[in-house]
Chain A
């Protein structure tokens, strides 16, 4: 069942795309963080549509992100799971949903989050990427051991 085959009033507010990715069932209010994680800020000229806090059956309110002309890689999808664990990823080609994925948490994320511990070596001027182990309910810095369970989206490096 593709999202295109069950259009409702709310989804129609966000235009259909021809080729690209639809990230659906993002937790309400996280859409902009999703874009930050996949590094899309519109500066490359991508056509991006965002629906925020639209009613949903599965979640009380959900966000939906549609990116024209860009297919997300598995790595990007993995990282999304940290802030959008319920998300579904639809790869659209010629207006048809060709692939559908659920996000799955990766074991580690590198260079995506910055460590909140000001004493951590990765927050200085060293030539090293941040690296976090993904726990069941949070992430943990591989270098200093700090565990973050809430506010992970605030750590996204921009």
Chain B
């Protein structure tokens, strides 16, 4: 990657994405080869809201590269509680670590923080904003299962609030993928995201639907996200909608045999457990891919292109 920081999937060109995925594949094939690669280096974990899995995934990735992590700990026990600004926090922790991972409840937090530090900063989620490492592991999983060339993907569920969906859509526009967005009307993609996708030139490949059935047979990948109960004013509205966007073996009767079903997890009941043992299911594989992909990202950012020589 040409970048010092990883803030949003929008900053990634097709070449950038491919560089990460190729590196992840190399690491996946021979993890022992990189076991000491970043010995002695430290990754600073700054999680201003809890996300055990993302945090553990970064921690595992750094340790498997021979490095270690320093953890700010919970916000309750840190100086943030005393009113310290994020700008001050990152400038302090920058002094301890070779790279930083930031998860923060406010949108734009990673962009701002990156302007205060010289070490690489990775955005691990900023409010409703971006989550680019999730996107890269999604792309890695898609490439493994269906390939990124001439891809037809259905992205279904809460498209309005789902930042993983927005990031993924931006990245897929680089690959001219046919993207079908399936959601209840109230949870459609934000118009700003649609605007961006058109700006990026991927607009011609985008369709929006309120039902899965018409597009399902044409899909290579179905990416399911959780519809959050708390987005609905009352429970009955939620129940009405949630059922329509639930996947089981019956739903998938008209699907291609090669369909890959993905989900960023955690799921509630969007995907019936009976799917887990079918060839469709790729969501646990997707979660496991978080480690090699984050190893690749850390490796590329920590090297800063030095190994190109």
Chain A interface residues (CB < 8 Å from chain B): 117, 119-122, 124-128, 141-147
Contacts and interface: CB of A to CB of B under 8 A. Distances in A.
B195 A121 contact: no
Contacts of A121: 86, 104, 106-109, 111-112, 126
B246 to A, nearest CB: 30
B129 A126 contact: no
A143 B111 contact: yes
Interface string B99-126: 0000011111101100100000000001
A126 B89 CA distance: 11
Given A124-B85, A125-B85, 12 more contacts: A120-B108, A121-B86, A122-B112, A125-B83, A126-B112, A128-B112, A128-B115, A141-B108, A142-B108, A143-B108, A144-B127, A145-B192
B187 interface: no
Contacts of A141: 108
Which of A119, A128, A142, A145: most chain B Cβ within 10 A? A145
Given A119-B127, A127-B85, A128-B112, A143 B107 contact: yes
A148 to B, nearest CB: 10
Interface in B212-267: none
Contacts of A125: 83, 85
A145 B8 CA distance: 11
Contact of A122 (B83, B104, B108, B126): B108
B75 interface: no
A152 to B, nearest CB: 16
Contacts of A143: 107-108, 111-112
29 contacts: A119-B107, A119-B128, A120-B106, A120-B107, A120-B108, A121-B86, A121-B104, A121-B108, A121-B109, A121-B126, A122-B108, A125-B85, A126-B85, A126-B87, A126-B112, A127-B87, A128-B87, A142-B108, A143-B107, A143-B108, A143-B111, A143-B112, A144-B107, A144-B108, A144-B127, A145-B107, A145-B192, A147-B192, A147-B195
B277 to A, nearest CB: 40
B155 to A, nearest CB: 19
Contacts of B126: 121
A110 B104 CA distance: 23
Which of B85, B108, B127: most chain A Cβ within 10 A? B108
Contacts of B83: 125
Given A119-B127, A121-B106, A142 B85 contact: no
Contacts of B128: 119
Contacts of A126: 85-87, 112
B195 A144 contact: no
Contacts of B105: 119
A99 to B, nearest CB: 36
A110 B111 CA distance: 15
A30 B49 CA distance: 42
Contacts of B127: 119, 144
A121 B111 CA distance: 9
Given A119-B107, A120-B106, A144 B129 contact: yes
A142 B85 CA distance: 19
Nearest to B86: A126
A127 B89 CA distance: 12
A101 B5 CA distance: 40
Contacts of A124: 85-86, 106
Contacts of B106: 119-121, 124, 144
Interface in B127-145: 127-129
A117 B105 CA distance: 13
A119 B127 CA distance: 8
A141 B109 CA distance: 12
A122 B192 CA distance: 19
A107 to B, nearest CB: 16
A119 B107 CA distance: 6
B160 to A, nearest CB: 14
A62 B129 CA distance: 40
A129 to B, nearest CB: 10
